[in-house]
Amino acid sequence: MLRIVASGCVNPSTKVVSFNLNVFGIDCRFGNDVTTMPLNIKPADQSRFTYKNLRDLNDNNKAYKSPLAVICHVDVNAFFAQYEQNRLNLSHDDPVVCLQWNSIIAVSYAARKYGINRMDTLESAKRKCPHLVVAHTAVFKRGDPTWKYVNYRPSPVNHKVSLDPYRRESRKMMRIFQSFCDLVEKASVDESFMDFGRLVFKRLMLLFPELVKGMERTSDRLPQVPLEGFSDLDWQGIVILCDEDEEEKEGPVISDWDDVVDLIGSNLAYELRQMLIKELNYTTSAGVGRVKTLAKLASGYNKPDLQTIVRSRAIPDFLKRFSIKDFWSLGGKIGDLVLSRLSSGTVEEDEDQIGYIRDHYSLKDLISRFDHDRELAQRVYDIVRGQLYAALSSRIDIKSMASNKNFRGPSVNCSKDLLPWLDVFVGDLVLRLQDLDEETDTVRRPTKFALGMTCGRVTKLKQCTMTPIKDYAEFTKRLKQLSVKLLGELESTRKGNADFSSVYPCIQASLTISGFISLEGFANIDELMKKQSTEGRSEGSKPVFHPRKRRNLGIATLLTQGKVKSAEGAADDYICSECRKRILKSNMDEHKDYHVALKLDQDLNSQNQKHQEYHGQSQLPF
DNA sequence: TACTCACAG
DNA sequence: GGCTGTGAGTA
C-alpha cells in the first residue's frame, strides 16, 4: 500500500488519500507543509526517439502520429449538475442533482456521497438526502420557441427539455481550451481532446535549448535526457507506475524523452484545469497519454477533480485494468463480438483480457477472426497496444442536427396538436445553429430538412431540400413553412387505402437539418438573394463548402505570452467603422454582410436576452 | 429518399 | 431506464 497525496483544484489542502494501486500522486503545491520529491531521472544510454519525432510535435498535422505525442482528455465532472450548482450560486459541497421529468440525469459528487446515482428516482434520492438540491433542466413550453428555467415542476406533456444551456456553457469551455491549445476536438458537450504538441515543444525548447541545435538532423537520435535543467518542474496529478518497487519509493522514472513530455503534459493539463476552475468554476478530470484512447481512459480513472498520467512505459500495466469494451465505439454489440471472437475463456487470462489479446493474436489472426474486417482488426490491434494514433478532428464536420420529442399518452392526435411542437423544434434548431455559427465563425445552413413521426411502432420520415437563407429570422420562417408542408405530406402518405390516421396518435416527432454548407461562397447578400429567388428543387450549383480556417490561437502560447503581434500585414487591414475591429481587406465584403445580418437579427437577439434571465436566480424551483 | 440500427452519454 | 442526440448502412 502506498500513501499518496491526491492533487485537486478545489480541495487540495491537506487531504491524504490511500490508494492500493501502483500510482504516484503529487501534491499540487497548494499546501506548504508538503515536501515534494526530487524527480527520478535515470537517463537511458540512448534515446529511442529522433529529432523528427520531436519536430513533428510542432506541426498540427503530424503531432498526433509522433511517438512523443501528448494528448490530453478533459472531462467535466457531472457536468449538468455542476452547471446547475453554479447557476444557483451553490458550492461544490452542496448536493445537487439535475432532473429531467422524474429521472435524475446528473448527480454532483457531493450528492454521490449520499449514495445517490443516476438510477434513482427523485423520491428515492430525496430519501437518501433530504436536503438535496433538485434542479430541473430548462424547458420549452409547447408553442414557445424559447427555452426557460421555470419555477415549477414541468410536465412532459406540455414541455420539451432544452439542453441549450449546457451547450452554451460547453462553448465557453471550448473557448478556454482554444485559448490554451491550438488543436482541440470537442468529443461531447462535456469532453474534449487536446493535442499538446506545440505547447510541449515550446516548453522543451525553453528548458533544453541544446535540443534546437540538432533539430535539422531529423533522423538522428535525440541526446540523452539530461540530469539537470528541469527547473522546478514536478509531476502533477496521479502517475500510473510500472510494476517496479523503485518507482513507488523514488517516483516515476524519467529515462527518455517520452517521460519528459509527459512530465510537461501533466503540468499543462493541470494549468488548464486551474483555468477552468478560475474562469467557470468547473472541476474536471483529465488524462494525459500518447494517444486519444489512453487519454480518455486515464481521465476517467481518477475522479473527481483529479488527473491521471499514463507514460508510455506504463501502458501495458494500465490497460490491464480495462476491458476491450471500455474503449470508445466498443461499448456495445461490436465490443461483444470482439470479445466472443477473442476471449480465452479462462479466468486468469480474463483478468488481463487486453494483454491476452495483445499476446495471442497477430494482426493476421485478428483479420481472419473478424471475418476480414481489416479496419476493425487494425483498430483492435492498435488499441490493445495503446498505439491507435488517431488524429483529432474538428467539429466542422457535423452531419446533422435534430430536435426531437417523445410524447406521453395520446396527446398528439391531429395537426393542431403537433403544430406548437414544430415551433419548439424550429426554435431549438435555429438557436443551436446560431450558436454553432458563432462558435465556428461560419455561416452554416442546411440544404436538407426532414420531419419524422412515429405512430405505434412505425416511424415515417419526409425529407425535402432547401436553399440556404442567411438571415436567422427569415430562416426560421422558412423552416416553419417547410415543416408544415412536410407535415401535410406525411399525413397524406397513405399505404394502400389508409388515410392520414396512420400518423396519429403520434408518440414521437422530430425535425432534422442536414447537408450543411457554408455561405462564405457568396460574395455578398445580393448574390445570396438572387440565389434564393431562383430556388429550385435540384441539388445543382451549390456554393462550395469552405472549412473554417482555424483561428491562429497558437499566439497565446508560452513563447508569445503577453506579447501582441500587430505589425504583420497591417497594409491589408482595415478598421470597421461599426465595430472598430481590424478586418482583412479580402474579408471586407463578408464583414459588411455580417453587420447587415446583425441588424436583421435583432429579433433573435432579444430572444437571447430572455435566456439570460435565469442568471442570478436565487430561489429554487422546488 | 426512407428506414433501421448502433452508440454515447 | 427514459431521453436526447449523432452517424452509418441499406435498398
The model's pLDDT over A291-306, given as tens digits with 9 standing for 90+, comes to 999 999 999 999 999 9
- CB of A448 under 7 A from strand B? yes
Rounded CA–C1' distance between A597 and B1, in angstroms: 33
Which of A20-24, A44-48, A470-474 shows the lowest per-residue confidence on average (mean pLDDT)?
A20-24
- Contact (CB, 8 A) for A363 and A476: no
Query: pLDDT by residue (tens digit) across A186-206?
Result: 999 999 999 999 999 999 999
Nearest to A486 by CA among A399, A405, A415: A415
Rounded CA–C1' distance between A404 and C5, in angstroms: 9
The nt closest to A326 (CA vs C1′) is B8
The nt closest to A163 (CA vs C1′) is C4
Model pTM above 0.95 = no
The pLDDT, as a whole number, for residue A620 is 46
Rounded CA–C1' distance between A492 and C6, in angstroms: 29
Q: What is the mean pLDDT of residues A281-300?
A: 97
Please identify residues in chain A, positions 180-209, with a C-beta within 7 angstroms of any atom of strand B.
187-188, 190-191
The three cell numbers of residue A160 are 420539451
Residue type, A23: V
Rounded CA–C1' distance between A528 and C3, in angstroms: 38
Give the separation between CA A265 and CA A90, rounded to whole angstroms: 32
The stretches of A395-554 forming alpha helices (DSSP H) are 415-440, 472-492, 525-533
Identify, with chain letter, the residue nearest to nucleotide C8 (CA–C1'). Answer: A399
Rounded CA–C1' distance between A189 and C8, in angstroms: 22
Which of A66-80, A441-455, A577-591, A595-609 shows the lowest per-residue confidence on average (mean pLDDT)?
A595-609
The nt closest to A187 (CA vs C1′) is B8
Rounded CA–C1' distance between A461 and B4, in angstroms: 12
Confidence band for A6, pLDDT divided at 50, 70 and 90:
very low
Give the separation between CA A509 and CA A160, rounded to whole angstroms: 12
pLDDT at A599 over 70: no
How many residues in chain A?
622
Which of A186-190, A351-355, A487-491, A562-566 shows the lowest per-residue confidence on average (mean pLDDT)?
A562-566
Which of A13-17, A129-133, A355-359, A485-489 shows the lowest per-residue confidence on average (mean pLDDT)?
A13-17
pLDDT at A580 over 80: no
- CB of A400 under 7 A from strand B? no
pLDDT at A518 over 90: no
The pLDDT, as a whole number, for residue A541 is 34
Nearest to A447 by CA among A475, A480, A487: A475
Contacts (Cβ under 8 Å, ≥6 apart) of A114:
A95, A128, A129, A132
Q: Which residues of A30-43 are buried (b: 16+ CB within 10 A; e: fewer)?
A: eeeeeeeeebbbee
Task: Give A193's strand partners.
Answer: A73, A185
Identify, with chain letter, the residue nearest to nucleotide B1 (CA–C1'). Answer: A463
pLDDT at A489 over 70: yes
The nt closest to A407 (CA vs C1′) is C3
The pLDDT, as a whole number, for residue A595 is 40
Q: What share of chain A is helix, strand, coil (3-state, %, to 5)?
A: 40, 20, 40
Nearest to A268 by CA among A169, A217, A326, A199: A199
Identify, with chain letter, the residue nearest to nucleotide C6 (CA–C1'). Answer: A400
Rounded CA–C1' distance between A428 and C6, in angstroms: 16
The pLDDT, as a whole number, for residue A566 is 28
Long-range Cβ pairs for the range A225-230 (8 Å, 24+): A225/A41, A225/A43, A225/A44, A225/A47, A225/A254, A225/A255, A225/A256, A225/A257, A225/A259, A225/A260, A226/A43, A227/A41, A227/A43, A230/A39, A230/A41, A230/A263
Rounded CA–C1' distance between A294 and B6, in angstroms: 23
Give the separation between CA A349 and CA A351, rounded to whole angstroms: 5
Give the separation between CA A460 and CA A437, rounded to whole angstroms: 30
The nt closest to A119 (CA vs C1′) is C1
Q: What is the mean pLDDT of residues A82-92?
A: 97
Cα A433 to the chain's mean position, in Å? 17
Give the separation between CA A184 and CA A192, rounded to whole angstroms: 7
Percent of chain A clearing pLDDT 70 (strictly above): 76
Residue type, A134: V
Give the separation between CA A149 and CA A170, rounded to whole angstroms: 18
Question: What is chain A's mean pLDDT, rounded?
Answer: 81
CA A6, A8, A10, A14 dihedral sign is: positive
Confidence band for A409, pLDDT divided at 50, 70 and 90:
confident
- Contact (CB, 8 A) for A153 and A621: yes
Identify, with chain letter, the residue nearest to nucleotide C7 (CA–C1'). Answer: A399
Q: What is the mean pLDDT of residues A360-385?
A: 94
For chain A, how long is the longest CA-to-CA vector?
85
pLDDT at A29 over 60: no
- CB of A344 under 7 A from strand B? no
Residues having Cβ less than 7 A from any atom in strand C: A 100-101, 103-105, 118-119, 156, 160-161, 163, 397-406, 408, 428
Query: pLDDT by residue (tens digit) across A303-355?
Result: 999 999 999 999 999 999 999 999 999 999 999 999 999 988 887 777 899 99
Nearest to A515 by CA among A452, A463, A461, A453: A463
Task: Give A99's strand partners.
Answer: A104, A136
pLDDT at A257 over 80: yes
Query: pLDDT by residue (tens digit) across A47-69?
Result: 999 999 999 999 999 999 999 99
Rounded CA–C1' distance between A339 and C1, in angstroms: 26
Query: pLDDT by residue (tens digit) across A526-558?
Result: 455 444 443 333 333 333 333 333 322 211 111
Confidence band for A135, pLDDT divided at 50, 70 and 90:
very high
- CB of A329 under 7 A from strand B? yes
Give the separation between CA A622 and CA A116, rounded to whole angstroms: 18
The pLDDT, as a whole number, for residue A160 is 95
Strand B nucleotides within 7 Å of a protein CB? 1-4, 6-9
The nt closest to A190 (CA vs C1′) is B9
Coil, strand, or helix at residue A237? strand
Give the separation between CA A445 and CA A604, rounded to whole angstroms: 17
- CB of A456 under 7 A from strand B? no
Give the separation between CA A259 and CA A68, rounded to whole angstroms: 9
